[in-house]
Structure 1
Amino acid sequence: MKQSIKFKTGFFLATILLIAITALSALVLFNIRNYQRQEFERTLMERGEIANDYIKQTYLMESIVDPQAFIHTRAAALVKRFDLISGLRVVLYDRDGEIIADSRSYLPTVAVEKMMPYALDGQNVYVQRGNTVHFLTPLSNTNQQIGVLRYDDDVSAMNAFYGLMTKRLMSMAGIVFVVTLVGAIVFSHPLTKGLAQLTASAAAIEAGRPKEVVRLVRKDELGELSEAIWHMGETIARQMNALHSEQDKLRHAVDDLEAMGQHQKRFIGNVTHEFRTPLTVIKAYADLIQMYESDRELHGEAAAYIQKEVSRLSEMVNRVLRLTAMEHYDFQLKCEVLNLGECLEVAVQHVHGKAQHRGLEMIQAFEPVCVYADREAVMQIAINLLDNAIKYNRPNGRITIRCFEMDQMACLEVADTGVGISESEKTAIFEPFYRIDQSRAGDDESSGIGLALVKGLVEKLGGQITVEDEVTGGTRFTVRMPIA
């Protein structure tokens, strides 16, 4: 069964207030009862003191010798006098606890045997039975106890006052509970009404009707919640409008995935084809060695070719693995602040012998510029670009390698004096296994992976690579990376 929040709130507040009032009332009643008890005991003690003072004065004035004779002969007069002073029933007991005189003997006898030992021992003691209190106090002369005096006091007025206060406090608690409940319900009505409107707005959003959302004009948390729901409805409406355009994008993404699938098939085919060539050469020379076991010259030639093809195959496998890792996995780079010129000097040393063998001139121009990059990645980029510049250069040509800063970017530039690259091939050369006319590479064979690896590394470092024609002929590759 659905329960309204305003009734829950009202009942909760009223219950909390009722508990507080009940606790306060209990404390007030306890203090009233404690005060009544203290005042009543004080009055009883005063009566006992008055009686004892009277006995002591009588002893001093009359010079009484026998206490027992005095208490028995004067008992009736004493109880009447004490009755007259206090207005209460007074009963006198001797040292044995026996009744000697009763100021109102016509009233029923009261049993006080349990209290009598305490009174005979010199202690004040009382007991309440209904609306009557029986108070026993020792009665003494100047130096010894001669009996016990009992007062019977009526406390009905005191009990009536306590009962009246209890009823009034209970009535006040009930009135406060009802008033608080009604007040909380009335006060929370606008709140619950606003919540109902917000519920309707949420249902409208759930049903796909964000235009039916209602905005509450309130300067409190409920108003803020209404504003948030309204903005959420507006956002959902915009997202629903954008969903149709996203469907078109999804269709294009599916087409791209199909294209990637075709690319992967070509990639696998190219890898298979590239591996087949060196394996065919190795197998052919292995067969020749087996056929002509005694031909030492053939063995040497075969060993040289096999070693060359194995090295080529090993390099190709390493590049394919590195390229695949970049394309399909979270390739981790160990970036640090690097002096780009120092890295390029090391890269030049790696290819210097090969360039010298071709008769190529190496021109270096390194400006002081630092990058935040992976040292191995930078070395791979530079060595691959220099290696291509050597392969596709003209005999006795020139290679220029520079680094400088431009537009808040670190630039690495490798230019050669080779035959250049046609416009149609400038984009394709960065595809895996794409190779330009092999006749332009001289005796060196290319795997077609180097530039694809370079592009992947550059993009991992947050940079970009471009290729342009040199004015004097040849090709210029430019890599731009963020400076440190």
Structure 2
Amino acid sequence: MKKNTQISLKVKLIISYITISLFLVISLITIARYIIYNQFEDYVLKNQAKNTRQIVEQVKKAYGNSTKLPNKALLNNIGQNAIDKGFAIRIEDKNDSILWCMDPSLCGHMLSDIEHNMNRLYSNFSGDYVEKSYLINSDGGNQATLILRYYGPFYYNNTEVEFISMLNYTFLIGAIVALVLSVVIGLFMANRISGPIYKVIDKTRKIEQGNYKDVIEITSNTKEVKQLIHSVNSLANTLENQTSFKKRLARDYAHEFRTPLASLQSNLEAMIDGIWEADKERLESLYEEILRLTRMVGNIDSLVSVEENIVLEKSNFDLKEFINKIVINFESILFEKKIEVQLEGPSPVLYADKDKIGQVFINLLSNAIKYSKENSLIQIHIQETKKNIIFSVKDYGIGIEKAEINLIFEHLYRTDQSRASATGGSGVGLAIVKSIVLAHGGNIEVRSEVGKGSEFIVHLPKK
């Protein structure tokens, strides 16, 4: 059975912070150690050369102008000072015979300690014992040569070893502190980032269960998390509206279908029971009810058909001239309601599906006429920009409630005003309008105020 190897975002963030911190700390320590050690090695080499010169000068000074071996106490003092600095010294004559030598046990112990220290600090250190000779006195046939023996190419004395050890200890403490800080900061940042996300997950689970009312009220300084919270809240609001709309739709169509079906049922029962005669007039009435039901179902089918299979056959045509012809077709209705239509704007050439754009305009103009009062005005305005061709239909009729403006393009939605009106349609016209406009790559917006009218503005791209 396959195990679940998923890791939470919080754990991933903490691991990321720790990994990055360790990488940075190790990199900085490595670079710092490299620079400091190189600088320290240069310092040690310079100090070693300086000490060498001082020891040679001290031995020469001890000899002075004499060719005889200086006082052994003085030489022992110089030798002890040399040992403290990491040098073993002896003096030989011209035949390589030892004239004087510091206690070999002290020298051996000192050199052994230095070798041990260097191998402990540098596991791959390729050091070895080095001897250098310096001529001290050669007057009168007598010759004295100072032999300096030390561990090379460079070495650290006890003080320098303590400094290096302290430096390594400081780096170790720094690494541990950085690691602890990275864990603490990682936990803090992980909680800051993942906390809101867990809230969003909890909200989406509630949405999955059908609870859309609770809003995520937490805030975040992270742009993406803030957008995620806003999107989930918007989704919940949209789903709540759609659920409400579906319930309303079900009630509306139950009501719409119930009336003609009840009429059909009662009339047919009366005919079957012999109460009414199945004459031509009654059959025609029943037939009209059946046609009404057919039209209602047909409206739903036409909406689904338009949205699922919009095939555009585009061509160039004069938009203003095309709109003017459609307005002429409505002259009788406009005359009956005493409505004046004003068409304003340029005559741009639009590249679009002429029939479908005609369907859009007919729907908008038809609605404007339906919801306009007698002796009113409908304004049609055409505008051309660099990228778009825009036309709008504005009426001064009953208007639309602000809460319903975002719903009027929903399938089968009708406002309370249109439902109460005798001219109330099936509620599919504006849904079809929106589908056609979107298929052309455009968009449609609505501006409306109850009692003052509505304006529908269609934006269509030139290309």
User: Rg: which structure is higher?
Assistant: 1
